Structure 1
Amino acid sequence: MSDQPETPARPLKVAIVGAGPAGFYAAGQLLAAKGVAAEVDLFDKLPTPYGLVRFGVAPDHPKIKSVTRVYEKIAQKPGFRFFGNVEVGKDITHAELLERHHAVLYATGASHDRRLGIPGEDLPGSHPATEFVAWYNGHPEARDLEFDLSAKRAVVIGNGNVAVDVARMLGLDAGELRETDTADHAIEALIASEVEEIVMLGRRGLAQAAFTNPELRELGEMADCDIVVDPAEVALDEHSARWLERDDADVREKRNVEIATEYSTRTPEGKKRRIVLRFLASPVRILGEDRVEGIEIVRNELVADDDGWLSARPTEETEVIECGLVLRSIGYRGTKLHDVPFDDQRATIRNVGGRVIDENDDEQVPGVYTAGWIKRGPSGIIGTNKKCAQGTVDALLEDLESGQLPEPTVTEDDLPELVAERKPDHVDWSAWSRIDAHEQALGEPQGRPRVKLTRISEMVDVATAAGAVGERT
């Protein structure tokens, strides 16, 4: 075990896997820790950092993406090193990271969708929203996906912010799209889209919807897309009325009801597209022979348990909505990593307070930690990951203080050479900066934040145009 390395001559070495918000916040907190000289190696399987900020935040939300300025400052701190385009578990193993670091912290997020488990879910034309979001955000793994936008009606299943983003992206007009960093292939397809109506389905009532006020408000401010809400959809039943009056009621929920109620009083202006909000409706099956032709839904009613928690119970009332596109947005799941204990039910790394625990005896795995969605599940906003990462870093530093961290068995810093041998086209921070500058230069003449490179080969070509790779900041 470690003898509390905390001097520049004998620094605390930590590998962080996943260069999204949680990974960067953890890196920043380690590098700023008082009384500890830390060195951080941050890995990502893509050549580009920022994870969810680059590939999950809607392109028409540039203010949210400005958080990357914080991450850029972290990357300039002494002791920081970035290894992009390096997949842990494939290009370098978990064991090899542990051999070279006192601790390995996993912050790989939750990038896969939760399934509905209904008939027809896998028909052509039915897609997880995760894929659609990755596609319009230019994720290399989604670059060649195809979405048939020739249908007149699309149905989005879910009532969270991702569902709202997906519905809004389908409703943006050409002018709104062309000023964003939406991937070029997606801009072309969305402008040519024949979708006229986007129906959003929520399993529970309006008062329980998970979307936030600004996202809901944006739906009513689109240039060429009406927002349509039937007054019956916003009428509160007795359970919802009591839900909003409870002592711990969320102001967000009350404001959502107010916003949607105002929408229900609007007369459609005859814009090119319309977004229709539906609540208390669950999909029963997706219909079609060779592709999606419709979706059968059941009307729900709210029931309260002894603690006052409201759940949706299906009634006998069903309905078929004709549509040609279904986007499923009911949550994200984490993915199991090689040699790291995983909770299949929660789809997270097994942990207590960020300390990874063994699958067999629930004992702490020395030197292994986790933060972000892969630690706690897909909840909160980007800023939530800062507090989450701090909790994990505090636990790691407590273990350092008590001498619980294992000593690296490979003391020579051979990591740059090892990565270069395994992955010659890996990307360090300087190389990423060249990609960043290149994308921004492409976007400037068009009045856009950037034009994203969407193929790894293109990124690597730009990244490796010049410069040394593997040096610490």
Structure 2
Amino acid sequence: MAATAVPTEQPTERPTQQATTQTVAQPTTQRRRVAIIGAGPSGLFAAQALMSQDRVPVHVELFDRLPTPYGLLRYGVAPDHENIKAVGDALARTFDSGEVTFWGLIEFGRDVTRDEVLAGYDAVIYAVGADEDVRLGIPGERMIGSRSAREFVSWYGGHPDARRQDLTGVTGAAAIGVGNVAVDVARILLKDPAALERTDMPPRVLVELHSADVRDVWVVGRRGPEHASYTTKELRELVSLPGVQVSIDDYTLSTMTGDPDPKLPRRVRTNLEVLASAAAREVPDADRRLHFEFWSRPIRLHSDDPEPDEVGDDVDHERIPEKVSAMELERTRLDADGRVVGTGETAMVAVQLVLRAIGYRATPLPDVPFDTTAAVVPNVEGRVVDEQGVVQPREYCTGWVKRGPLGVIGSNKADAAQTVAHVLADLEAAPMATAATGAPVRLDVVQLLRERGRAPSTYEDWQAIDSAEIERGQDLGRVRTKLGSWQELLAQVAGSRLAGAAGGAVGEVAAERAPEPS
């Protein structure tokens, strides 16, 4: 069926695929069309920045693989950190203008290509975050019980991709890393599950935590406490857990005598004081223990079964049958060049769960330039460039895929503002053509997806999910109870479509994307 063209400037930078001639967008306004790939905090901050300006009228469309917006804010923030989750209320107001549209259940590169998106929009912003964790690269890493902290956080955060984290038989656990993620997983493991009952944590996660018997948790850092990246707030919360005795390894404790060096940054001095105070405090009737092991690194995971020799550079969920029973640590120091090296002094720690939290990496987007060394989309202040440094017209990036996995959620706001400033400058420099110029039309990407049988979910579908979660929460005396599986989420999407007569099958999505039972 023919459709009326949306006028736009001539795209000269690359040819588009044949599919671009199949369907075109109906004209609505003279607003420039901006697509944002990823509806997490970085994508929403970019949309917010676009809506808060009046230089260039824009219409924004956010695409996400999930039927829920908010990304890391929804699934990466610990359930007991409700104050951080409140940032979502401010981001939700981005949709109030009527010029921001959410399209869920659409995976870039699988459901829609780079060329098709560029054919449909005046600008494209990649805001997909970093979805792969950095590995330890040590023998035994693929054993059962060795996991990424990302997997563990996804599980207790109710991500639909998450597999069950079986804590049966786990009395000792280790978080490798000294950032906020390591502190979060240590806190969830040591915290009384009763204190989590009123959070939005999925009920099945609470059942697992209630049945667990974790008594000892080690937080392991290869450098000293002065190099730790956790915030003071997170550290205080962890070391103040009721019924938990805190200890610091003897070597580090011996270096913490007296007041912290006044030349150190204030945050570091405060953290050292918090640590020293916690280690000196005796907790009567403590039944759990938190061990800080600084200047240490894991060099091998051991099992009571025959030990494997594999280092483990393959897929996260591919396991070998041996179970972790111990972790071998090596004392570290800094060499003359400031690099961390081992001293040869080792110690064994009895653990059945090891969670690596030593960093994240972005993964390549299909056909989009990617720097495999830095694990980012190469860019100059948010303008995407190719491997020769040539700017790619109308392509931008923001968030972790732009700068690497640095900073907290709020860091994405300034980052998005920088990118959006360039988007607006480039849009102003390329005025919208009129139909009289004979310029090519923009592809109606959403209609194209529907014709392919990939009907996207909408913001109204998300509101149906949101309402269902709030209703479930009220039944349990909570603010909400998160729907934590693809089946539950898509049931709400299907119900919303039935109510709105929007049509479009969603059942195949559950079959394709739901994780294997574990």
Q: TM over 0.5: same fold?
A: yes
Equivalents in 2 of 1:127, 1:369: separation in Å? Answer: 33
SS of structure 2 residue aligned to 1:264: helix
- Quick check: 2:449–2:455 contact (8 Å CA) kept in 1? no
Matching residue's letter, 1:197: D
- Quick check: 2:243–2:283 contact (8 Å CA) kept in 1? no
Equivalents in 1 of 2:62, 2:186: separation in Å? Answer: 34
Residues 410 and 434 (structure 1), Cα distance of their counterparts in 2 relative to 1, 3 Å cut:
farther
Equivalents in 1 of 2:434, 2:351: separation in Å? Answer: 59
Residues 410 and 85 (structure 1), Cα distance of their counterparts in 2 relative to 1, 3 Å cut:
farther
- Quick check: 2:223–2:340 contact (8 Å CA) kept in 1? yes
Instruction: Determine if the alignment matches structure 1 residue 267 to structure 2 residue 282.
Output: yes
Aligned to 2:295: 280
- Quick check: 1:231–1:261 contact (8 Å CA) kept in 2? no
**Which residue of the other structure, out of 233, 257, 274, is the alignment partner of 1:214?**
233
Per the TM alignment, residue 259 of structure 1 is displaced from its structure 2 partner at its CA by 0.1
Aligned to 2:329: 297
Per the TM alignment, residue 131 of structure 1 is displaced from its structure 2 partner at its CA by 0.6
Q: Bigger radius of gyration, 1 or 2?
A: 2
SS of structure 1 residue aligned to 2:331: strand
**Which residue of the other structure, out of 207, 213, 232, is the alignment partner of 1:188?**
207
Aligned to 2:70: 50
- Quick check: 1:91–1:423 contact (8 Å CA) kept in 2? no
Per the TM alignment, residue 24 of structure 1 is displaced from its structure 2 partner at its CA by 0.2
Aligned to 2:16: none
What are the residue-to-residue correspondences of 1:48-447 with 2, within 5 Å? 48-142=68-162, 144-230=163-249, 232-236=251-255, 244-246=261-263, 249-288=264-303, 289=306, 290-303=322-335, 305=337, 310-359=338-387, 361-403=388-430, 411=441, 414-424=444-454, 426-447=456-477
Equivalents in 2 of 1:412, 1:121: separation in Å? Answer: 49
- Quick check: 2:224–2:294 contact (8 Å CA) kept in 1? yes
Matching residue's letter, 2:384: V
Equivalents in 2 of 1:393, 1:65: separation in Å? Answer: 24
Identity of aligned residues (%): 39
Per the TM alignment, residue 463 of structure 1 is displaced from its structure 2 partner at its CA by 2.4
Matching residue's letter, 2:486: I
Matching residue's letter, 1:148: L
User: After the TM superposition, which segments of 4 or more aligned residues of structure 1 sit over 6 Å from their partners?
Assistant: 404-410
Residues 342 and 170 (structure 1), Cα distance of their counterparts in 2 relative to 1, 3 Å cut:
same
Equivalents in 1 of 2:65, 2:157: separation in Å? Answer: 17
Aligned to 2:43: 23
Equivalents in 2 of 1:222, 1:245: separation in Å? Answer: 29
SS of structure 2 residue aligned to 1:179: coil
Matching residue's letter, 2:131: S
The runs of 5 or more residues in structure 2 that have no matched partner are 1-7, 11-26, 307-321, 504-518
Q: Which shows bigger deviation, 149-158 or 47-56?
A: 149-158
Residues 372 and 407 (structure 1), Cα distance of their counterparts in 2 relative to 1, 3 Å cut:
farther
Backbone CA RMSD of aligned residues: 2.6
Equivalents in 1 of 2:441, 2:458: separation in Å? Answer: 22
Aligned to 2:24: none
Per the TM alignment, residue 414 of structure 1 is displaced from its structure 2 partner at its CA by 3.0
Matching residue's letter, 1:291: K
Per the TM alignment, residue 79 of structure 1 is displaced from its structure 2 partner at its CA by 1.2
**Which residue of the other structure, out of 449, 467, 471, is the alignment partner of 2:500?**
467
Per the TM alignment, residue 31 of structure 1 is displaced from its structure 2 partner at its CA by 1.8
Residues 422 and 70 (structure 1), Cα distance of their counterparts in 2 relative to 1, 3 Å cut:
farther
Equivalents in 1 of 2:183, 2:433: separation in Å? Answer: 45
Equivalents in 1 of 2:224, 2:168: separation in Å? Answer: 29
Give the TM-score normalised by the residue count of structure 2. Answer: 0.83
SS of structure 1 residue aligned to 2:242: coil
Equivalents in 2 of 1:410, 1:40: separation in Å? Answer: 20
Per the TM alignment, residue 128 of structure 1 is displaced from its structure 2 partner at its CA by 0.7
Equivalents in 2 of 1:462, 1:227: separation in Å? Answer: 44
Per the TM alignment, residue 123 of structure 1 is displaced from its structure 2 partner at its CA by 1.0
Equivalents in 2 of 1:106, 1:86: separation in Å? Answer: 14
Cα shift readout 1:129-167 (whole Å, capped 9, x = no counterpart): 11111111111111x333334122111111000000000
Cα shift readout 1:411-452 (whole Å, capped 9, x = no counterpart): 367333223233555311111011001101101122222111
